[in-house]
Each structure stands twice: as C-alpha cells, then as structure tokens.
Amino acid sequence: MRVANKTALLLCLVVIVSLFSATASEPQRDVESRVEALLSKMTLEEKLGQLQQLDGESNGNFRPEHVELVRKGLLGSTLNVRGAQRTNQLQRVAVEESRLKIPLLFGFDTIHGYRTIFPIPLGEAATWDPQLAERSASIAAKESYAAGVRWTFAPMVDIARDARWGRITEGAGEDPFLGAKFAAARVRGFQGDNYGTPGKVLACAKHWVAYGAAEAGRDYNTTDMSEYTLRSVYFPPFKAAVDAGVGTLMSAFNDLNGVPTSANPFTLTQVLRQEWRFDGVVVSDYTAVKELINHGAAADDADAARLALSAGVDMEMVSRLFNQKGPELLKQGRLSQVTIDEAVRRILRIKFRLGLFDRPFNDESIERNAFLTTESRAAAREIAGRSIVLLKNEREALPLQKNIGSIAVIGPLADDKQSPLGWWAGDGRDTDTVTPLAGIRSKASPQTKVTYAKGCDVLGDSTAGFADATAAARNSDVAIVFVGESKEMVGEAASRSTLDLPGRQMDLVKEIKATGKPTIVVLVNGRPPTIAWIVENVPAIVESWMGGTESGNAIADVLFGDVNPGGKLPVTFPRTVGQVPIYYNHMQTGRPPELNNRYTSKYFDIPWTPQFPFGYGLSYTQFKISNVQLSAAEIPATGTIRVSADVENVGKRAGDEVVQVYIRDVVASLTRPVKELKGFRRITLQPGEKKQVEFQLGPEQLSGYNREMKLVVEPGEFKVMVGSSSEDVIEKSFRVVLGAQASSPAMSKANR
C-alpha cells in the first residue's frame, strides 16, 4: 500500500514537472518553429536584406532610400533612427507593405543614458557597485524604449589598460573581474529577465574582442596578444555578458593576431558559438566588413563579405557587401546557403524573442513623459555622487562649510554643460546639464558669495583669463578649480599622446595655488590624467569623471559633505604617460622592482609605482580593516575557502568603504599576475560601527588557464590579500592540495 502510494506520488510529480517544463520551453519551441516557417518562405534577397543594417540621420530621421528598401524586404535593421513616431512610420512600411511583413529592429548607442545621462561607464565603475549600473541601464532602457529604440549597442565591455586610448571612458576599466561584474549588471539592467518585456531593450556586448588593447593606444590599431591573455583578461567581461543572457555581440574593428576580429573564426565561431553556446546575433561594427579590404585580409568586396559571414558575423552595419555580393558568392560556391540561413535564423530569432512580430509599434503617448523624470534625475545624481573618488584631502580641506563666506569657482570646466555628458551621450542635451557652478550656487548658503572665472579654455594657449581668475581666488575664502578634458577629447577616435591637462590648465592651477588661497582641484575627465604637480602641491583633489546630467549637483553634494565620497579607481592613474600601459594585475617577473637594485624591473628616471593605484580612493572618514581570517589552511581543488575581515569606521562621519579581495597563485604552470581581484563589497558604516565582511573563494575564483588553455585550479600556495585598495592590503595564505584530505573548515590557527 505504502509502495503504491509512493509510486502514485512519484508519477504525480513527474507529470507536474513535465507540465512545468513544457510550459517553460514552449515559447522557445514556438520561436524556433516560427523562425523556420518564415525562413522557408524567404527569397535569397529577402534573407540578405535581414542581414543589413543601415544608418539613419544623426537627428534620428530615417533616410528616403530606407523606405524603398524596407518595402522590398531588403533592410533588417537601422541604427540611429529613433523617436516613437518616426520608428512607427518606418515600421509601418515593414509590417504593412513588405511581402513577408518582417518588422525592423531599431538600434542606437544608448551607452550611459538616453536622455537622462549618467556618469561615463568608467566613472560608474568607480562606484564599485554593479547594482547602480544595473539601475542606470534600466532607466536608460526605459527611455530608449519610449523613443522606439529596441536595441542598444551597449554595454561596452572592453578591458582597457592604456589611458591614451580614448574609449577607455566607455568601459569599466582595467580589471577583468570588476569588468565582468559590471558587464553582467548592465546586461541585466538593459534586458531585464527577458528583453521582450516592454520597457526593456536588447543589449550588445562590444567590441568582440581585444579592441581595448590597440597598440600605442591609437584607436583602430592592431592588437597582438597571446591566447592566454585573451582568455584571462579580455574574454571574461564578454563571457559574463553571455552568461547574463546578452542577446547580441558586436565584432570589432581591430586585427587580432593577424586576423581581423570581424572575420575571425576563432573568436566568432570557436569561442562564441562552440565553447560558449551563444545563440544570439553578431553585428559587425560600423563598416568593419568593408574595412577587411584595408586590413589586407580581403582582396575585394566579395572576399570581405565571404570572410565576415563565414567567420560568424550575422549582420553588417552600414557597408552593404553581404547584400551586394551574397548572390554571386553563393552561385560561385564560395559561400554556402547554410551559412546565410543560419545568420538569418539568428536575426529572426532575436526579433521573435523581442516580441517585434506581435508588438511592432510604439505607444507614442509614452514618449512625452518618459524622459528626465524626477526619479531618473534623482538616480543620476545619486550614481554620479557615488562615482566620485576623493584622491587627496590634506588636513581635512574638504568638505566645505555651507556657510563659508566666499568661493571662487574657476576653470574651463566649471560651467561647461557639454563635457559632463561625456562621449555617447545618447539624446542627452546640454540644456539639461547641471554644471558644477550651478550645483555649488544652489547648495551654498544664500550668504555665500560665489564668483566664477573661467581662466582659460580646455584647449588653446590663451592666458588672458588668468588675471580675472587669480583676482577671484584672492577675493575668496577658497578656490575650486575645475580642470580636465572636453567631451571631444575622449571616446572614439580620441587617442591622446599625453595624459597631461591640455592647454594652459596646469598653469592656471599653479597661478591659483600661488595666490595662497586654499585650493581644491576637481577633475572632469574621461581617462586617467597625469597630474603629478597637483598631487604634490594641492591639498584636495576630487575625481568627478564626466558625471552626466546631474553632475554639478553631485559634485556639490560631495564638496559640501552631504555625500561622503566612497568611489575607488577602476583603473590605475600613472605618474607619466611613459608608464603606460600600467595596471595592477601585471605578471610576476624574474626581477621584481627593488629600490636599491638597479637590475630590477623599473625605470631609471621615475618610480615604477603609479600615481594612484587601482582600487584607491579616500573618504571624509577613516576605515580600519583588520582580523583577516581564512576558514582553512588547506582546501581541495574543488573546495571553497571563506575569507573574512572586520571593517570599522574609526572616523567621525558615516561613509562607505569598498573592501577588496585579491589573490595570487604563487606557483602555477603558467605565470600568474602578482594580484588578481576576486571579490569586493561596498559597505556603509556609521562612525564607530564595525562589520564583518565575508567572501567565498572557490574554483571560479582560484582557477587559471594552463598550457592547454583549460581552466584549472592548480595545487600549491595561494596568497589572499584583503584591503582598501590594490596596494593597501593585509596578506594571508593557504594551500590547495590534491587528493589529500583538506583541513577542517573551522578557522585555522595558522591563518589568524
């Protein structure tokens, strides 16, 4: 009887489980069958049409020729066409006038905001709080969706170790672990659980791959690196994006080890499709297919189309070679029908998953009230505030008292509405920007006299404004100087050969400092600058990045102490451009630098150390990290070790500390970095408050590539370093053992 009951129960469970899994996989099966049904009706021209993406006008209009192409079924997607009404108009042609009624997919670069602009992604990474990036991406998705955009070419997840490269501004900095966390968070923010949900957009991890390693920091330049570095450093943020369900990837402009990335079967097919099982779409970067000819990889247009398509690019952005040359390539047997069909299948699959066939149009009434809402502005202000990094604060020069008598607000970036928006500012408008001057004016007490003097331009040689600026400083209690880069100097095609402040800005800072008035420097910039003189001579330095629409308010929040800065650098700040590429997780060498030993790895003329290390940032309060403990002295290769530490706010204000955990695999079959970030947590502590933080280090964190390019945990000693930056750490160690019994998980004495 009992047995019978059990069997019945089991049967019941099986039925319930299979019912559930049937419902779960139904939509997916449905998508696949709809894709196949549609594919079977398409002509070759219509198929190639789906692989084509064309550029709209910069103001968001589609071009006259698009209408005809769409009507004939010869265009699958656009970029830059936006606005609910305009996208509806073109979509109507697709779904009402084309033979197969396949909807268009509208793409756009919503990178750090659509209309409400958030800090540049590098700045957002300085929050060390991926949830904030998820939040900003989700607001950006909502605004984009309201404007008819269904696909954003973000997140940009390129690792960048060379600050000369202007696009360092678009990513999360130099570290694969931090980069992976931000990549996944941004994908979740844009796409949610399902990018077909209204208010969500399809994301695109770019630029696949190693684009950030352009030689000499010169944009679009060659990259050449070992598979080991590629897999350990440049792949992880992409892998994290794929694991987070990113729908698309963009193939890059650069050549990689002799094979351009937009025609590279190793990265596009072997890694992406075979190893990672990615079933979404790969779109080429802007004219990257045609550029295969310039690379010397393709002999002509047909060759370029053949190489890109057969390597694994599905959609061609702007150049039109798939369309123009597809038929002849097919006829000549140089391209197979299977390759074309597979690319079309992937694109249709995405369109079905997005719900475009069922809901092709936008509700035009949403757009009017979707932008710059009170909530999104508040989020922009909060995130900008949390991205700010306090680089120096001698004798508590900051924060300022709100009732201070007078402030001189100086510098070319003090009242500039453009630069805070940064590169790729979506549809952000400078008229919406709160400048630092406006932020300071609205926060200081009504009695405080605020004087503004520009001093000089960001670029250019004129010092004509110096006299006014020094006079303003002399007549005030404090001088705050806003210097850095203009929007045009960062981002794509904005490589620089020096990281010094451009124009006469450094001279301006020197003149202001020479007045003898307390001087504070606020940096507004998109990449690590070299500011050695300022670091030596100015008592307080604030890194505000390019903080977006609410940047000025966020800066004022920090300057006056309403927000206690808690950001940390996601990238190393060099002393001079000659140190570049400089990054904390460099390999161990045979001759690590030693001060008094010439024949070690360092410079003759300058220290080998950075100006500010990765993970660095101060606060208006002080923290003490202590009592670092490991849960075992030994673990098996499959095991997990618990790392704990106490963090205490030993200062007088509430504030945030970012506790960071690094490891070093001391001896391995391939050389390992001196340090690798493997965990971090930003926590808020009241004065006197103490908390214990815990991290788990398991196979995911402890593994590295071996000579066969397999990820393995190798036995031997591991160092664990816990601290407040990559240089300020407490070190412990444990061993990974093979076969043998690992010690008990209780706190081991050896590691106390």
Q: Which of 46, 109, 303, 316 binds ligand BGC (CB under 6 A)?
A: 109
Known active-site residue 285 = yes
- Determine, following the binding rule CB under 6 A, whether residue 82 of this chain makes contact with ligand BGC: no
| Nearest CB to ligand BGC, comparing residues 285 and 427 | 285
Residue 548 to residue 380: CA distance in whole angstroms: 7
Nearest distance from C-beta of residue 250 to ligand BGC, angstroms: 6
Residue 189 to residue 395: CA distance in whole angstroms: 40
Nearest distance from C-beta of residue 152 to ligand BGC, angstroms: 9
Helical (H) or strand (E) element with 183:
helix 176-191
Going by C-beta distance under 8 Å and a sequence separation of 6 or more, which residues neighbour residue 68?
Answer: none
Nearest distance from C-beta of residue 269 to ligand BGC, angstroms: 22
DSSP secondary structure letters along 386-412: HH-EEEEEGGG--SPPTT-SEEEEEST
Q: Which of 82, 181, 186, 206 binds ligand BGC (CB under 6 A)?
A: 206
- Determine, following the binding rule CB under 6 A, whether residue 286 of this chain makes contact with ligand BGC: yes
| Nearest CB to ligand BGC, comparing residues 253 and 545 | 253
CB atoms within 10 A of CB 66: 21
Question: Tokens for 543?
Answer: 């890194």
CA dist 660 to 33, 569, 728, 729, Å?
48, 12, 10, 9
- Cα-Cα-Cα-Cα dihedral of 285, 325, 323, 299, to 10°? 10
Helices (DSSP H) in 258-320: which residue ranges? 265, 292-295, 301-311
Nearest distance from C-beta of residue 256 to ligand BGC, angstroms: 15
CA dist 200 to 143, 321, 391, 664, Å?
9, 31, 37, 40
**Residue numbers 669-688 binding ligand BGC by CB under 6 A:** none
Going by C-beta distance under 8 Å and a sequence separation of 6 or more, which residues neighbour residue 388?
Answer: 126, 542, 543, 544, 545, 547, 554, 555, 558, 563, 565, 567
Nearest distance from C-beta of residue 109 to ligand BGC, angstroms: 5
Buried/exposed 669-678: b ≥16 CB within 10 Å, e otherwise: eeebbbbbbb
Residue 124 to residue 116: CA distance in whole angstroms: 14
Q: Which of 62, 114, 153, 182 binds ligand BGC (CB under 6 A)?
A: 153
| Nearest CB to ligand BGC, comparing residues 55 and 646 | 55
Q: Provide the residue type at 743 as one letter.
A: S
DSSP secondary structure letters along 47-94: HHHHTEEEE--TTSPPPHHHHHHHHTT---EEES---HHHHHHHHHII
DSSP secondary structure letters along 200-237: --B-EEEEETTGGG-GGG-TT--B---HHHIIIIISHH
Residue 93 to residue 303: CA distance in whole angstroms: 33
| Nearest CB to ligand BGC, comparing residues 250 and 434 | 250
CA dist 564 to 145, 546, 656, 686, Å?
34, 18, 8, 12
Query: Nearest to residue 315, comparing CAs of 363, 272, 251, 371?
Result: 251
Going by C-beta distance under 8 Å and a sequence separation of 6 or more, which residues neighbour residue 182?
Answer: 121, 124, 125, 130, 133, 155, 157, 172, 237
- Determine, following the binding rule CB under 6 A, whether residue 285 of this chain makes contact with ligand BGC: yes
Could you tell me which residues are beta bridge partners of residue 730?
722
Nearest distance from C-beta of residue 492 to ligand BGC, angstroms: 6
| Nearest CB to ligand BGC, comparing residues 285 and 303 | 285
The dihedral region occupied by 157, where left means phi > 0, alpha psi between -120 and 50, and beta the remainder, is alpha
Residue 612 to residue 64: CA distance in whole angstroms: 52
Give the count of alpha carbons within 13 A of 362, CB side only. 31
- Determine, following the binding rule CB under 6 A, whether residue 208 of this chain makes contact with ligand BGC: no
| Nearest CB to ligand BGC, comparing residues 491 and 502 | 491
| Nearest CB to ligand BGC, comparing residues 134 and 285 | 285
Q: Of residues 175, 285, 301, 557, which has the active-site annotation? A: 285
Nearest distance from C-beta of residue 423 to ligand BGC, angstroms: 10
| Nearest CB to ligand BGC, comparing residues 109 and 303 | 109
| Nearest CB to ligand BGC, comparing residues 106 and 352 | 106
Nearest distance from C-beta of residue 265 to ligand BGC, angstroms: 22
Helical (H) or strand (E) element with 327:
helix 321-331
- Determine, following the binding rule CB under 6 A, whether residue 128 of this chain makes contact with ligand BGC: no
Query: By CB under 6 A, how many residues form the interface with ligand BGC?
Result: 7
Decide if 226 contacts 233 (C-beta within 8 A). no
| Nearest CB to ligand BGC, comparing residues 46 and 109 | 109
Angle between helices 321-331 and 301-311 (to 10 degrees): 90
Buried/exposed 618-651: b ≥16 CB within 10 Å, e otherwise: bbbbbbebeebbbbbbbbbbebbbbbebebbbeb
Taking CB atoms, the residue at the shortest distance from ligand BGC is 153
- Determine, following the binding rule CB under 6 A, whether residue 492 of this chain makes contact with ligand BGC: yes
| Nearest CB to ligand BGC, comparing residues 261 and 505 | 261
Instruction: Find where tokens 């966390």 sit.
Output: 181
| Nearest CB to ligand BGC, comparing residues 341 and 492 | 492
- Determine, following the binding rule CB under 6 A, whether residue 79 of this chain makes contact with ligand BGC: yes
Total residue length of the chain: 752
Nearest distance from C-beta of residue 150 to ligand BGC, angstroms: 15
Nearest distance from C-beta of residue 606 to ligand BGC, angstroms: 34
| Nearest CB to ligand BGC, comparing residues 251 and 476 | 251
Nearest distance from C-beta of residue 358 to ligand BGC, angstroms: 27
Q: Is the peptide bond before 570 cis (omega within 30 degrees of 0)?
A: no
Nearest distance from C-beta of residue 324 to ligand BGC, angstroms: 21
Nearest distance from C-beta of residue 55 to ligand BGC, angstroms: 8
Chain residues in the site for ligand BGC (CB under 6 A): 79, 109, 153, 206, 285-286, 492
Residues tagged active-site: 285
